[in-house]
Structure 1
Amino acid sequence: MSVKKLVTLATLTMASVGVTSAALAGGPDYVPAPSYAGVYLEGNLGYAYRPWRKDATTVVGLAKQARLLGSSSRGNGGFTFGADLGYQFNQYFAVEGGWFYLPKVKFTTTGVVNGLAAGTYTVKSGMAYAALKGMAPVYENTYVFGKLGVAYTYNRANAGLPTNKIPATFGSRSRFWNPLFAAGVQYYFTPNWSVNAQYTFVPGYRNASSKRFVAPVTHLFTVGLGYKFLM
């Protein structure tokens, strides 16, 4: 038998053994393509910086500047928490909506501030938003992301606060829409579970009207835990 025939016979024999082994083992391993699409739910908590005291255009800042601020609690921020619900289309894009609790500020004035009588006041706040989220992988299961959207911030005082308009008017609520910007990093430790760290920025309300008092800018520094229901 020639060398050529021996080589051919050996090749056919090895191929036959490989096919038989694969058949006995249940066929070749199938590695599915990674899935990214799905509905996700996240819970977040952290610190909210809202400079009522440092912003001289707010009623708290005006009282401090005039040396009529007796005391304040959470005057520049405090604990925050929230949640968001979204849908991820692919590896790079998602849409989401969410809500954050904003710290309640409490302050006492010792004299008249812009027509506001001396006393103790509280302002309760929160923020709802909708945003487009863009993601990019940086290392294995780690992603950086950015968000661009719109936020609805609401502030409710226990009494009417000056709106910085002449003649002086007072409003117990200040609700407004503003753009929202966010950026962060997210790590998936399973295909479904993830953790994230995020910074969020929403401008304050400056153009006080007869019904809205001035509110400060909002900076959120949060960490979160998320779960994605893969499609």
Structure 2
Amino acid sequence: MTFHHHNVVSIPVKLSLLTLALMTAPLAMAQAAGWYAGANLGQSNATIDDARITSGLLGNGLVAGPFNNTERDRGFKLFGGYQYNRYFSVEAGYFDLGKFGFTTTTTPTGSLSGDIRLKGLNLDAVGTLPISEKFSAFGRIGVTYAHANDSFTGTGAVNVLDPNPSSRKTNLKVGLGLQYALTDALSLRAEIERYRIDDAVGNKGDVDLASLGLVYRFGGKRPTPVAREYTPPPVIVAQAPPPVVAAAAPVPAPQPAPVFVPAPVKVSFSADSLFDFDNAVVKPAGRAELDKLAADLRGVDYDVINVTGHTDRIGSHAYNQALSTRRAQAVSSYLVTSGDIPAQKINAQGVNGSDPVTKPGDCVGRKTTPALIACLQPDRRVDIEVTGKR
């Protein structure tokens, strides 16, 4: 009995090349990394090679009759992994592809039935391609350690010499999928995978698993919010006009008091303190810092408030420009709705990584490593510049 590929997905070479392309894409900014776990449930498919079984029976002087095959079953997998950045993760898990089998009659009178049960462990490299803030595609390539349990039963003229062979083999697996973030912690997956399988009697083939699943991301270490160089706005006290002395002669009009234009006051917040990984929604710790700033500014007659989002130099210009703009807009919206700041007096913009805090020689290297990401942390920020008077 053999199990061959059921034509559900494309040629394995194309699948592998796409996976490698995703894995080797330039790595962009990764503000956080962390562990995740999940489970998938779906349908597994194999093809029973009736022609090969018929040939084997004929070689023993038996003519096979009609076949009754079971080529589909329910499959599932449990997995856990570590995401190093928004493009790459490593995943390990347990899979159960289900049970497949056949039954046929023979001439001279007899029957032969066989089943195979497949389960095992896997270790995959997973490359992810973000499509939008919540939607992404991914590909995987990995190795499996599969346990194949075969069972054969013969009656009448069919004599089975080894009714329960089994084997444990290491093989390749590949896959493609789509993922949608339902919340910051929970995502929905749809994917199809191909498992290369050796059965217990020396045959090779493929089993496909199409499945849906959920992924839960465990909370990573949250940086402590850091506000730098914050000085309360100056208090302006208007000068009293000089006294008017009555005299017979006309008194020149007093000179107007000089107009004092206060210098803008700027405060910077670490983007890591305001937002989660690859996200533009202000998190609770960030809202607390913005509430404190709004309380300090209460009573100020605003001329203008400029909110500027910054990223570091890692990643593509287009992606980081969009992310920095969304984050500046998120902070502006929060100050308007929660800080009672007039919307017409606040401006928001993103400037990518064009205005870094770090100097050119501070953080050496182009390859994205934890050390480089930590060194460039000051560049990932949101600046708030306030011009006004009390």
TM-score above 0.5, yes or no: yes
- Is 181-190 or 119-128 further displaced after alignment? 119-128
SS in structure 1 of the partner of residue 106 of structure 2: coil
Candidates 70, 84, 104, aligned match of 1:89:
84
CA 1:202/1:189 → structure 2, altered by over 3 Å: closer, same or farther?
Answer: same
The TM-score normalised by the length of structure 2 is 0.41
- The aligned counterpart of 1:98 is 93
* CA distance in structure 2 between the partners assigned to 1:104 and 1:151 by the alignment: 18
Shift of 1:60: 8.0
Q: CA contact under 8 A between 1:72 and 1:105: conserved in structure 2?
A: no
Candidates 32, 37, 40, aligned match of 2:33:
37
- The aligned counterpart of 2:146 is 153
Task: Tell which structure's C-alpha radius of gyration is larger.
Answer: 2
Candidates 211, 235, 239, aligned match of 1:222:
211
* CA distance in structure 2 between the partners assigned to 1:82 and 1:201 by the alignment: 13
Q: Structure 1 residue 50 and structure 2 residue 39: aligned?
A: no
> Match for 2:101: what amino acid?
K
Q: Which has a greater percent of strand?
A: 1
Q: CA contact under 8 A between 1:35 and 1:230: conserved in structure 2?
A: no
> Match for 1:178: what amino acid?
N
SS in structure 2 of the partner of residue 217 of structure 1: strand
CA 1:94/1:140 → structure 2, altered by over 3 Å: closer, same or farther?
Answer: same
Percent pairwise identity: 26
Q: CA contact under 8 A between 1:36 and 1:230: conserved in structure 2?
A: no
CA 1:190/1:214 → structure 2, altered by over 3 Å: closer, same or farther?
Answer: same
Q: CA contact under 8 A between 1:128 and 1:151: conserved in structure 2?
A: yes
Equivalences for residues 1-231 of structure 1 within 5 A: 36-53=32-49, 56-57=51-52, 59=53, 68=64, 71-74=67-70, 76-111=71-106, 118-159=111-152, 170=162, 172-205=165-198, 212-231=201-220
CA 1:62/1:137 → structure 2, altered by over 3 Å: closer, same or farther?
Answer: farther
CA 1:106/1:202 → structure 2, altered by over 3 Å: closer, same or farther?
Answer: closer
Q: CA contact under 8 A between 2:186 and 2:215: conserved in structure 1?
A: yes
Q: Please, which runs of 5 or more residues in structure 2 have no aligned partner?
A: 1-28, 155-159, 221-390
**Aligned length, in residue pairs:** 181
* CA distance in structure 1 between the partners assigned to 2:32 and 2:63 by the alignment: 56
Q: Please, which runs of 5 or more residues in structure 1 have no aligned partner?
A: 1-32, 162-167
Shift of 1:220: 1.2
* CA distance in structure 1 between the partners assigned to 2:214 and 2:63 by the alignment: 43
* CA distance in structure 1 between the partners assigned to 2:84 and 2:55 by the alignment: 44
Shift of 1:212: 3.4
Shift of 1:77: 2.1
* CA distance in structure 2 between the partners assigned to 1:143 and 1:36 by the alignment: 17
The TM-score normalised by the length of structure 1 is 0.66
* CA distance in structure 1 between the partners assigned to 2:202 and 2:122 by the alignment: 21
- Is 144-153 or 172-181 further displaced after alignment? 172-181
